[in-house]
Structure 1
Amino acid sequence: MARNQLRPLQQMAYQKRMKTYFVKEKLMVEEAPFRYDNLEGKVFAEEDGSKVYVNALNDAMNILKNRKRNENSPLGIDVPESKRPSRLHPGHPALLTMDPETFLELANQVTKLKMFPYFDIAHSAITVLYLREDLGPRALEFSRKHPLACYVSAMLQIFAGGIIASALLGEPMLGPFKNSGQLMIATAVWYFIFYMPFDIGYKITKVLPIKVVLAAMKEIYRCKKVHDGVTHAAKIYPQGILAMIVIGTVKGNGGGFIKIIDRLVRGVWTPAAMEFLVPSFPTKACLTAATIFVLDKRTELISAPHSLVYFGIVIFFVYFKLSSLLLHIHDPFVPFENLVCMFFFGGIWDTVARLAGRKSATEETNGKMETKSDVAKKKE
């Protein structure tokens, strides 16, 4: 094999009596006057006591070594010689590099992921878990006394995005419940977390590794919902950019917008929990993702393939969710919001006004003190 591959290249060498062969993934060269430099990894000839490297033969060696390397590499990745030891162990950083075609193929696979049933289970589990935490320490007592209210509240939270989006688009609000498979999964998860013996369902879901996996899967599910919301709104309102962004945001975080109704079902009225008053990070993230999807679909501002845009948003969602769970970084948008409010929503002018008011008040106080001192001097 090596001889056949080298035959057209050997004609460029300086001697025809050249033999090459592989020994333990190293190309060795025999027949004087050529020698193999183990340090440089090149073939040279000795002339007048100095090394003269044979460029033609070294080019042939590089081609063969690259072919041999790609055949033996576990991932088929071309790793530079400077970063490749004699044998790569599976965790070597050189094997972690990924060529663009492989990365694009991975992105295409992510866009084609089927949400049913595993991602639906993760979405339902995390949603019901947050519902139970919202109920507080009396969650079990409430679920025993008011099982219907608890069930309706859970279903409202799980299918919130579809319910609100249907209402905004003039579609049947019960449309999200038409899939009996999703409804059965949501019901089973609700029962598992609230009514399992010894509360084992809630305890299992609360285990950190399990919760992290479920949360990551839910974020992938969230990205899918945002994308589907933008696509669905684009079919109804082809030129309605605002409608696409709103529906995508609502589909991605419907639980935040339906929170008031959800709590009202449980007998609690909290108007201050309106999502428009204090938007949560999922709402901001869904708004950002919906805007990016709209720009990708309706403009030429984003030149990357759609699958890469989708995969990037998935990474964005999963990364910040795991940062919230593990590192307690709850809202990375806050610094940008403060900066925008400072320059565009009156923050800088309010600061200038306060400084000016403080200066005028100081001058007025000093003037009064000077007047009092003048009066005292006149009396004396």
Structure 2
Amino acid sequence: MDLLAFLNPNELSLGMSKLAMYPLFDTAHYIVSLMALKEQPGAVAFAQRSPFACWFSSMLFCFGGAILSNLLLAEPAVAPLSNDANVLLASLIWYLVFYCPQDLVYRSAALLPIRLVLSGMKEVTRTWKVLGGVAQAQKHYKDGILVMIAVGWSKGAGGGLISNFEQLVRGIWKPETNELLNMSYPTKVTLLGAVMFSLQECRYLPLQKHHLMFIYTVFLVVNKTRMMLSGSHSWLFSPVEGAVHRALFAGESTDPTPKAKAPGRTSSADTCAAPELDGKAASENQNGSAASESDGEPSAKSGTRDQTPGCVGGSKKTD
């Protein structure tokens, strides 16, 4: 109780909700995002070959969420780039990450203690982005919970959701890497946050906004730190996700595509096999003996098929 009284969770969460993202937290977001871009295969060579295309791709990494959320709400997609201070800051960091002499900026930021701090600060900005997307959607569609979830999700994880377009800028086209086909941890956890903040805005979740912001931010930072220290890419709700998938979506396959015929079977061979099987079955019935399924198949070495009258192509040998 003394610890809770000292920390005063209500005042702590209220104070955290008033944090300004610019410039420190935005700087951490840009650094971590551009480091992730630089670590992709071929990104360094691409930056040396096409600096302008690399800059444009980097801006998509940094402002992809805001651009995608504006597109969903039919607002100007270039509006996020109208903030000159943010664009200049992101451009400066892009130059230092990709072109700094001796690669000093990237190597310094890649040190584990520094990267832990930067990644934690980036996760803090994720909360503000998701909440901003939900509030932005509510202005246009009051109580439209699905729209609020979609816009909050896109604003918080837009860089991943438009990754195919960003790759296309770099001359790479891999539609199988679509984020919706195999969602990564940031996309999943952002969707979770968008659902919770949308429910809170619509009064379905009995929590004050600053309390929810505090809980969600702590969860993001702690889980991201755990993943980086342990080298794991799984998240806490993986067992629940797997159980729900098995229960609701992993039923028996009902693929209507007809199965392919066994190799070596041709239409002529199937046509010829019918009278042979019927003749042998009649003979076995007369003798009162039961044959196994494998014995009922005529031998390929015998000349029975070649001698079957009225069989077109009956002499064709099957494997």
Which of residues 357, 360, 372 in structure 1 aligns to 2:292? 372
* 1:371 CA drift (Å): 3.2
Matching residue's letter, 2:208: P
- 1:167-220, Cα deviation, whole Å (9 max, x unpaired): 110100000001111001100110111111111111011111111100000000
Q: How does 1:298-377 map to 2 (within 5 A)?
A: 298-300=202-204, 302-332=205-235, 333-347=237-251, 349=252, 371-372=291-292
**Which residue matches 1:166?**
70
Q: Does 1:251 align with 2:160?
A: no
C-alpha distance in 2, partners of 1:343/1:247?
A: 29
Matching residue's letter, 1:267: G
**Which residue matches 1:108?**
14
Question: Which structure has the greater CA radius of gyration?
Answer: 1
Q: Does 1:182 align with 2:86?
A: yes
* 1:101 CA drift (Å): 7.6
C-alpha distance in 1, partners of 2:232/2:195?
A: 23
Q: How does 1:132-281 map to 2 (within 5 A)?
A: 132-134=38-40, 136=41, 138-281=42-185
C-alpha distance in 1, partners of 2:53/2:209?
A: 42
Matching residue's letter, 2:225: L
Whether contact under 8 Å (2:37, 2:43) holds in the other structure is: no
* 1:317 CA drift (Å): 1.1
Q: How does 1:59-98 map to 2 (within 5 A)?
A: 79=2, 97-98=3-4
Match of 1:329, SS state, is coil
Structure 1 length normalisation: TM-score? 0.65
Choose between structure 1 and 2 for higher RCO, CA contacts under 8 A separated by at least 6 residues.
2
Structure 2, gaps ≥5 residues long? 254-289, 296-319
Whether contact under 8 Å (2:71, 2:77) holds in the other structure is: yes
C-alpha distance in 2, partners of 1:271/1:139?
A: 18
**Which residue matches 2:305?**
none
* 1:337 CA drift (Å): 1.7
Structure 2 length normalisation: TM-score? 0.77
Corresponding pairs, count: 260
Structure 1, gaps ≥5 residues long? 1-77, 80-96, 351-369, 376-380
Whether contact under 8 Å (2:69, 2:155) holds in the other structure is: yes
Matching residue's letter, 2:222: Y
Match of 1:157, SS state, is helix
Whether contact under 8 Å (1:229, 1:248) holds in the other structure is: yes
Matching residue's letter, 1:179: N
Matching residue's letter, 2:213: Y
Whether contact under 8 Å (1:323, 1:330) holds in the other structure is: no
C-alpha distance in 2, partners of 1:210/1:330?
A: 20
Whether contact under 8 Å (2:130, 2:194) holds in the other structure is: yes
**Which residue matches 2:29?**
123
Identity %: 36
Higher strand proportion: 1
